[in-house]
Amino acid sequence: MEKVLEVKDLVTTFRIGKQEYEVLRGISFDIYQNETVCMVGESGCGKSVTTLSIMDLLPNNGRVASGSIKLNGQELTTLSSKERNALRGKKMGMIFQEPMTALNPLLTIGRQLTEGLRLHLGMSKEEAYQTAISYLEKVGIANPETRMKQFPFQLSGGLRQRIMIAMVMAVRPSLLIADEPTTALDVTIQKQVLVLLNRLKKDVSTGTLFITHDLGVVAEIADRVIILYSGRKVEEGSIEAIFSKPLHPYTVGLMNAVPNVDDDDCDIQPIPGTFPNITEDIGGCRFHPRCPYASDRCRAEVPRELEIEPGHFVCCHKVEEEHRK
Ligand code: SF4
């Protein structure tokens, strides 16, 4: 499979007052065609900042301080804003939690769908109209001709989310970034949207970066999983490895914090302590104030990434020491 996205040692900083703080502290990962990589972690861990860094949509006080982001082999961090802008929508599509962030309330669905196709793929009016109709059908929207004439406010949240997916996928982007796209939907619609994204990913051969804090969603959609904690990747592996053999104490904590609906006696164990603020200066492993296994080494030394088995990476001194035995 072809590599679509390659992120290497990405450091993103935010200026707060006169100080600059690292929000992403050297993150590396790849995404291949036809695969969905789920990025998981608590609010503030850097998931959304990763997507905004890739899309060049950071707020004014944020910047990519170092590292590399390559899309289809092309370095993005050295491109101008104009060049990055041209790639957004064409090579990189983004689906947000709230579709109204992307949909223009003043334009009909048809206008919004066809404009993207004409602009990015150079289609004629008729070609764009037919393609838009076919994508509305692909996302399961009945009476697409009628929907094309409607405005976003005339549609339910679930329909708007499908339309946004149709709009993004019709352009056949190399990379799709989906930031909590199902969080605001009720459970049945959520399931339909996940099935749809899975199907379209194969149709379009896109690579997907899916941001979520919901491990149930991860189980449904992920091929690979990246666990982030306070701006660092702490574990990465296939869906099987992460669910059946989580190694990092934080990943284990996340798994133990999920209620098991099939087990009346299930014992939910929340992760102790609180998630650190980006301004907090924590030496060594940033998880150490909450980790039951923290040692002096953990407090002093940032753990390096270790490949425990092919494709399964962990950053933890304890795991490294056990692995060496
Ligand atoms: Fe815990 Fe130490 Fe591993 Fe960090 S490096 S997760 S503190 S054992």
Q: How far is the CA of 313 from the centre of ligand 1 (A)?
A: 14
- Measured CA distances, 82 to 56, 75, 88, 159, 278 (Å): 10, 14, 10, 32, 30
Beta strand 306-309 with 62-71 is unpaired
pLDDT score recorded for residue 287: 96
Please give the sequence-ordered ranges of beta strands (E in DSSP) within 33-153, or none if there are none: 36-40, 62-71, 74-75, 92-95
Pocket test for ligand 1, best of 232, 254, 293 (most atoms within 8 A of CB): 293
* Sign of CA pseudo-dihedral 85, 86, 89, 93: negative
pLDDT score recorded for residue 264: 62
Assign 188 a pLDDT band (cuts: 50, 70, 90): confident
Average pLDDT over residues 207-229: 93
What percent of the chain has pLDDT above 90? 65
Pocket of ligand 1 (CB under 6 A): 248-249, 285, 287-288, 291, 293-294, 298, 303, 316-318
Residue-wise over 197-218: b if at least 16 C-beta within 10 A, else e?
beebbeebebbbbbbbbebebb
Which helix H or strand E contains 209, and what residues bound it? strand 207-212
Within the chain, what is the greatest distance between any pair of CA atoms? 67
pLDDT digits (tens, 9 = 90+) for 136-170: 998 888 999 999 999 999 998 888 888 988 998 89
Pocket test for ligand 1, best of 254, 282, 291, 301 (most atoms within 8 A of CB): 291
DSSP code of 96? -
Beta strand 92-95 with 175-179 is parallel
Lowest mean pLDDT among 58-67, 68-77, 177-186, 258-267: 258-267
pLDDT digits (tens, 9 = 90+) for 242-300: 999 999 999 999 998 776 656 666 666 778 888 888 888 899 999 999 999 999 999 99
- Determine the distance from the C-alpha atom of residue 288 to the mean position of all C-alpha atoms in its chain, rounded to a whole number: 25
User: Which is the closest atom of ligand 1 to the Cα of 285?
Assistant: 4
* Chain mean pLDDT for the chain: 91
176 DSSP β-pair partners: 93, 208
**SS3 of residue 47 by DSSP:** helix
pTM of the model as a whole? 0.91
Q: In what order do the strands lie in the sheet with 92-95?
A: 92-95, 175-179, 207-212, 36-40, 224-229, 232-238, 312-314, 306-309
pLDDT score recorded for residue 269: 75
- Measured CA distances, 226 to 2, 46, 246 (Å): 19, 12, 11
User: Which is the closest atom of ligand 1 to the Cα of 294?
Assistant: 7
Lowest mean pLDDT among 28-37, 53-62, 151-160: 151-160
Q: Which two tokens stand for residue 23?
A: 């929000």
pLDDT digits (tens, 9 = 90+) for 298-318: 999 999 999 999 999 999 999
pLDDT score recorded for residue 127: 95
Q: How far is the CA of 69 from the centre of ligand 1 (A)?
A: 28
Residue nearest atom 3 in ligand 1 by C-alpha distance: 316
Q: How far is the CA of 322 from the centre of ligand 1 (A)?
A: 12
* Sign of CA pseudo-dihedral 281, 287, 290, 291: negative
Q: How far is the CA of 67 from the centre of ligand 1 (A)?
A: 25
Beta strand 175-179 with 207-212 is parallel
pLDDT at 49 over 90: yes
DSSP code of 213? S
Residue-wise over 233-265: b if at least 16 C-beta within 10 A, else e?
bbbbbbbebbbeebbbbbbebbeeeeeeeeeee
